[in-house]
Amino acid sequence: MQYIEIERQDKIGVIYLNSPHNRNALSSGLLAEMSDALDAFAAEERIVTVIANKAVSNVWSAGHDINELESDGIDPLHYANSLENILRKIETYPGVVIAAIHGSVWGGACDLAITCDMIIADDTATFAITPAKLGIAYNTWGVLHFINKLPLNIAKEMFFTAEPISAERALRVGLINHFIRHENFRAKVEEICQTIVSRAPLSIRLFKEQFRTLTNAATISPEDFERLQELRRRVYRSDDYKEGINSFFEKRKPNFKGK
Ligand code: YXS
């Protein structure tokens, strides 16, 4: 594999993000390999899958691969986007998916981490959701992930400021399950995995599906859905979105004009 490494330990599967040249950016190539690994672990009935990064990197993932963000008037986060596909695959995985976070987490990778069933982070971890930095029209399903996981004011602060929050604060606000000093991190992840492996797998798979179905039960009218889509369309067709993308590659601050 070119972008990830995988390990198998009895009923546990481990996916290591391993694309250091672009800080584990969630490229379609990396996401395709992650998707195949999740399919293989599900077929092998691995009741726990861990998504981690090699400790050598101080970035868990830099988020969606910005090179692959469409900016020609097409929705960059449409339903069939490879990141959206992997989020749905994590949500429907027949077992527990744990994000083991060492280093910083950015943008769509933050959505991926909170879509996992649990997050265990060490003292180097930070979390940022960054569409406002790039002028991106985040998708409505993605916003719902943060509403389901966080107090509304915290979710709003993260989206409006696009600033990272520390692991300590992430624990206080309930974004992560455990905040572990780096030296004890691997042992804690292993301990939690082994506890889950020791429980009844059929019950675990039932709970996973019950949580997913009930969590996604938010209803909005078709008219409201279309209205939000139109608001998103105005953003992803804006000059600001193009400015956000260009500023990243030109390594300069964006100059947003609100149009
Ligand atoms: O210049 P080279 O070729 O060496 O490449 C650089 C970066 O361009 C590349 N890289 C990325 N490439 C594609 N997509 C990315 N998201 C991305 N991030 C980084 O990796 C090489 C090393 O980057 P550099 O020099 O900045 O590394 P660093 O260690 O100084 O800083 C690490 C980061 C992660 C703090 C920094 O790279 C960074 O701020 N990256 C962008 C984080 C971000 O804003 N991600 C959001 C992506 S868009 C997304 O996820 C959603 C759609 S949304 O924004 O809506 O949430």
Q: What is the DSSP string of 87-136?
A: HHHHHH-SSEEEEEE-SEEETHHHHHHHHSSEEEEETT-EEE--HHHHT-
Of the candidate ranges 28-37, 109-118, 219-228, 238-247, the one whose mean pLDDT is the lowest: 219-228
Q: Using a 6 Å CB cutoff, which residues line ligand 1?
A: 22-23, 25, 59, 62-67, 104, 106-108, 129-131, 133-134, 136, 138
CA of 65 from ligand 1 middle (Å) equals 8
Q: CA end-to-end span of the chain, whole Å?
A: 42
- H or E element that contains 69: none
CATH architecture of the domain formed by 4-196: Alpha-Beta Complex (3.90)
For residues 244 and 136, is the Cβ–Cβ distance under 8 A? yes
- The neighbour count for residue 165, using CB atoms within 10 Å, is 21
Q: What is the structure's pLDDT at 56?
A: 75
Spell out the long-range contacts of 165-173 with Cβ–Cβ below 8 A and sequence spacing 24 or more: 165/126, 165/127, 165/128, 166/125, 166/126, 167/101, 167/121, 167/122, 167/123, 167/124, 167/125, 167/126, 167/127, 168/123, 170/119, 170/121, 170/125, 170/127, 171/121
Confidence of residue 215 (pLDDT cuts 50, 70, 90): confident
pLDDT digits (tens, 9 = 90+) for 91-128: 999 999 999 999 999 999 999 999 999 999 999 999 99
CA of 249 from ligand 1 middle (Å) equals 9
CA Rg, the chain, in Å? 18
Percent of the chain with pLDDT over 90: 88
Q: Whose CA is nearest to atom 21 of ligand 1?
A: 22
Question: Running DSSP on this structure, what letter comes out for residue 81?
Answer: -
Q: What is the structure's pLDDT at 216?
A: 80
pLDDT digits (tens, 9 = 90+) for 127-169: 999 999 999 999 999 999 999 999 999 999 999 999 999 999 9
**Where in the sequence numbering do the catalytic residues fall?**
64, 108, 138
Question: Running DSSP on this structure, what letter comes out for residue 48?
Answer: E
- The neighbour count for residue 36, using CB atoms within 10 Å, is 13
Q: What is the structure's pLDDT at 55?
A: 67
